[in-house]
Amino acid sequence: MTSSSSLRANCQTILFSNKAILSQSCLREKKAMDMVRFIRTKEGEVINVKEITFAAVFSMLTNILMSRDLVNFELESVEGGMSEVIRNIFEVGAAPNISDLFPVLAPFDLQNLRKKSKELYLRCSAMFEPIIKERRERKMIDEDDASSQQDFLDTLIRNGSTDEHINILLLELLVAGTDTSSSAIEWSMAELMKSPEYMKKAQEELKNEINQDVIQESDLPRLKFLHACLKESMRLHPPGPLLLPHRAIDSCQVMNYSIPKNSQVLVNAYAIGRDPKSWKDPLAYNPERFLISDMNFRGSNTEFIPFGAGRRACPGQPMATKHVPLLLASLLHFFDWSLPCGNDAKDIDMTGKFHTSLQKDQPLLLIPKMKI
């Protein structure tokens, strides 16, 4: 049986190391262009930006993890209702749990959340198990074939992971990676629609820097203003507004506050990003502030930590900071965008709600027009 620490090490080495991220670039580029081709078929129609980008990110991840497409861009499941299950997981995960306030009630599962979670896990396992079984059988046949398929699932099998461990890890990676990334892109598009001068500047940068009919990840470092737009959006709308929960392993003092041992600690990244002590005009969307700043996504500056900081920062940050700007760049480079029914972009509702990530309360619905 593989330990949880070993599984975490597998994720870091196989998925999120610099070598792994570089090796996945062609796959991410292909899926980004698949998204572009799909949107081209919807020219002049109203599309849901969150759903389109969710499908693109989900497809990237399932192909990196197990070399399979599980949903298409209509969010119709290719295999067994995966899209519906993932949506239900988000709903259950975001539901307020009375047991968090009154732990004594936890054994009773008054809201049936534990029951629903178990049912959803079993449904996911039922979809993953045929894929895992097929891969195990193939490995028995091709055991000595060095040229055979090698992805994350292959590595887990080779390292002796049980089916249960594989099911849990695949589910956690898919749930954690898709909703946050697609929310970040939706917020960025909403802010750019409300600020057409910044939209134009980002599109001009893409026009000047991209010299081919596809966007490659090697192009991304040159897109300074695009990254500034993304950082500014994530400052205002961090996908994980309270980051990942932490626990105090010992009693300690922090800023004159006493933190008892075993207390759960939440870091309010949402408030940090809007702190007037750190940011001029903190509620204004102004990407240019990041053009004169060396702040990055790695948590080097404590006033900007959308992925957290230190050893417990989001492990998926290296991957997210590749596919999120790639997909945002693809939306801006290949299309012009307008609102349905001639609505004014200034009237876009920017109210947020906390689901499994910080989402727009009202989905961003836009009409694409091909540029290239």
Q: How far apart are CA 15 and CA 173, in angstroms?
A: 10
* DSSP calls for 273-301: TT-TTTSSSTTS--GGGGTT----TTS-S
Q: Is 103 exposed, middle or buried (0-12, 13-18, 19+ CB in 10 A)?
A: exposed
Extract the annotated binding site.
Answer: 314
Q: Please report which helix (H) or strand (E) contains residue 6, including its range.
A: helix 4-10
- Binding site for heme, residues? 314
Q: Tokens 């948590």 appear where?
A: 299
Q: Who contacts 68 (Cβ-Cβ below 8 Å, separation ≥6)?
A: 62, 78, 79, 131
User: How long is the chain?
Assistant: 372
Residue spans of beta strands (DSSP E) within the chain:
47-48, 246-247, 252-254, 257-259, 264-265, 335-338, 352-354, 358-360, 365-370
**One-letter amino acid identity for 332?**
L
Intra-chain end-to-end CA distance of the chain, in Å? 52
- Count the Cβ atoms, other than its own, within 10 Å of residue 318: 18
H or E element: which one contains 120? helix 113-141
Tokens at 16, concatenated: 């999120």
